[in-house]
C-alpha cells in the first residue's frame, strides 16, 4: 500500500477524532443540538442518561484531542512536535485508538442486532447508520495508518 494512502487514512482518523472533540466542547457551552433537552441527547448518543456538563464533557474532549494528535503524529504530520514523541509510544497510542474503535464497533453490531437496546429509539437508528459504520471505518483506517512511516 502506498505511503500517501496510509498518511491520508491517519489524517482522516485524526480529523474525525478532532471533530468529535469539537462536538463535546460545543456541548460544554450548554448547547444541546441536535436535541432539545439533555435527557434526549444523552439517550440518543449513549442509550442511557448522563449529565452533559463540563465536568463530564471536558475530559472526553481532552481524550479525543489527545487521540487526534496521536494519530497525526503517528503518520508524521506534526513536524518537530511529533518527532519528539517516542515512536513506540505513538504506535501504542494508535493501537489503543484501533482497539477502542473496534470495541465500539463490536458493541454496535450487537446493539444493531437488538441486544441491549430498544429498536424503536433514536439511539438504535443512529447506532445502525452512523456510530457503528463510522467506528468500523475508523478502525480500518487506523490499522492502515499504523503502517505509515513518519515523514
What tens digit of pLDDT does each residue of 62-100 get?
999 999 999 999 888 888 878 888 989 999 999 999 999
Higher pLDDT, 21 or 78: 21
Those residues whose C-beta lies under 8 Å from the C-beta of residue 96, and which sit 6 or more positions away, are 67
d(CA 116, CA 51): 21
Residue 150 has pLDDT above 60, yes or no: no
pLDDT of residue 101: 98
Domain ranges of the chain: 3-145
d(CA 138, CA 144): 10
Geometric angle at alpha carbon 92, from 3 and 17, rounded to 5°: 70
Instruction: Report yes or no on whether pTM surpasses 0.85.
Output: yes
Higher pLDDT, 28 or 81: 28
Amino acid at each position: 500500500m502506498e505511503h500517501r494512502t496510509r498518511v491520508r487514512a491517519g489524517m482522516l482518523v485524526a480529523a474525525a477524532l478532532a471533530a468529535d472533540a469539537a462536538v463535546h466542547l460545543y456541548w460544554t457551552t450548554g448547547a444541546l443540538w441536535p436535541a432539545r433537552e439533555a435527557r434526549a441527547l444523552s439517550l440518543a448518543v449513549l442509550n442511557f442518561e448522563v449529565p452533559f456538563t463540563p465536568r463530564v464533557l471536558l475530559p472526553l474532549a481532552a481524550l479525543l484531542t489527545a487521540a487526534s494528535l496521536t494519530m497525526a503524529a503517528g503518520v508524521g504530520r506534526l513536524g518537530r512536535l511529533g518527532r519528539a514523541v517516542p515512536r513506540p509510544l505513538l504506535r501504542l497510542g494508535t493501537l489503543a485508538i484501533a482497539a477502542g474503535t473496534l470495541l465500539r464497533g463490536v458493541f454496535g453490531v450487537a446493539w444493531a442486532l437488538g441486544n441491549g437496546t430498544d429498536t424503536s429509539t433514536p439511539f438504535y437508528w443512529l447506532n445502525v447508520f452512523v456510530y457503528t459504520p463510522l467506528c468500523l471505518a475508523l478502525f480500518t483506517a487506523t490499522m492502515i495508518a499504523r503502517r505509515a512511516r513518519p515523514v
